[in-house]
Each structure stands twice: as structure tokens, then as C-alpha cells.
Structure 1
Amino acid sequence: MSLRFKGAELRPVLAEAVSNCCRVILAKDQGVYFLAERGERRPEDSRQKLLAYAVDCNPDVDPFDDWWELARSELGGDDFGEHFDPKSQVFARILHSEDDLELSATATHLTLKPVAPTPGDN
């Protein structure tokens, strides 16, 4: 299986990372999401403003048991953060296309690949 990140939600995060000359982080804790290493914060609670959640792994909209089980089954039980260069080939393609991003994982590797958006999305 795999997780999907909608390109329309991921592109602003990538653009923020590029403009701030920083890395993009894949985080698995309260959901699964990408964020810029140095991003704008919300004034009301100082949380990062731009987050791109994996489809069905957003704790603000998806039921806890559903997103937690999906995140655990795809990425394991431990929380983590993995850093990536937003100028890498896969992220550059996402940034300059309508593609979504697919994330798959093994015990030792994360694989990122652009995929065509599903009809009706983005």
C-alpha cells in the first residue's frame, strides 16, 4: 500500500521551503504530513501554518482510529521526522505540475513518486 499527498496541498509547503532555503520534513506524529523546516507560524497558537497531510491521515478531519491505524500500518508505530531537499527531482516535479505524491515505505526505505491526481481531486 501507500499514502497519497494531494499536490494542491503539497505545493504551498514546497514553495515555502524553497523560498526559505530550508528542507521539507515528512512527520509522523499527530497524523502524517509534510511541512517546511522554517515556515510561517499561526499567531493564535504558534503552530506551523502550512501543513500537507496525507489523504486520510489528518487528525483535524479524519476519525482518530482511522488515521492512526493507516499511519501505523504504512509507517510503523514510532513517531519520526525525515528531512528532504525540496529541490530534489520528485519535489520539483510536484511543484511544477498537477501531480500528487505517493509515499510507500519498507522497514529501511521511503519511496516518493509523482502520480497523476485522481479524478475529482485537486
Structure 2
Amino acid sequence: MSLLFKNSDLRPVLTEAIANHCHVILVKDQGVYWLAEQGERLPDSRQKLIAYAVGCNPDIDAFDDWWALANNELGGDDFGENFDPQMGVLKHILDSQDDLLVTATQTHLTLENVT
């Protein structure tokens, strides 16, 4: 299995990272999501633009559901992994309507565009 990120959610995050000349970060903690390393903040200090994986958004998915999905797909430890938003597979998101699939093994993360 893998985690799916919708183009419509991910595109604004990638655009923000490129505009701010920073990385995007894939995060697993309270859900699984992408955010710009240097992004706009809300008044409560949370990041404004966040792209959650389908089924891993704690604001809309039940805790037991998103927690189980995140742990099954990415393991039990929290992490943040930096990526260049202009790398091929992520840049493709900006130039298409494709979504992004993230698959993990114990040692690797694989990013793949899906139609």
C-alpha cells in the first residue's frame, strides 16, 4: 500500500516552497503531510498551507483510522524528510493534474506520480 496526496492539495505547498526558495518537508507526526520549510503562518502559529495524505488528516479523519494508516505505511516513529520542490516528480505536480503516491520501505521513500 501507499499514501496518496491530491494534486489540488499539494500544488499550493510546492508553489509556496518555490516562491520562498526552500525545501518541502514530508512529515509524519499528527497525520502525514507536506509543508513548505518556510511557509506562511496562521495567527495560532500553525502553518497555513498543508497537504495531508488522503486518510491521514487529523482534522477530518478519526484518530484511530489515520493513526493506523500512517503507522502501517510509514512505521511508528515520527519524522520529517526534506525534498527539493523542483525535483522531477514534485515539479511534475505543478505541470500536470497528477497526484502523488508515497511508498515506504524500512530504508527508502519512493515518490511516484499517478494519473
TM-score, length basis structure 2: 0.99
Local SS of the residue matching 1:62: coil
Match for residue 26 of structure 1?
A: 26
Matched-pair identity in %: 69
The runs of 4+ residues in structure 1 deviating greater than 6 Å are none
After superposition, give the CA deviation of every residue in 1:71-101 in whole Å (9 maximum; x if it has no partner): 0000000000000000100011011110000
Match for residue 4 of structure 1?
A: 4
Deviation at 1:111, TM superposition (A): 0.1
Match for residue 13 of structure 1?
A: 13
Local SS of the residue matching 1:22: coil
2:60 counterpart of 1:61 = yes
Cα separation, 2, equivalents of 1:23 and 1:52: 14
Match for residue 102 of structure 1?
A: 101
Cα separation, 1, equivalents of 2:73 and 2:4: 11
> What are the ranges of 5 or more consecutive residues in structure 1 without an aligned counterpart?
117-122
Match for residue 119 of structure 1?
A: none
> What are the ranges of 5 or more consecutive residues in structure 2 without an aligned counterpart?
none
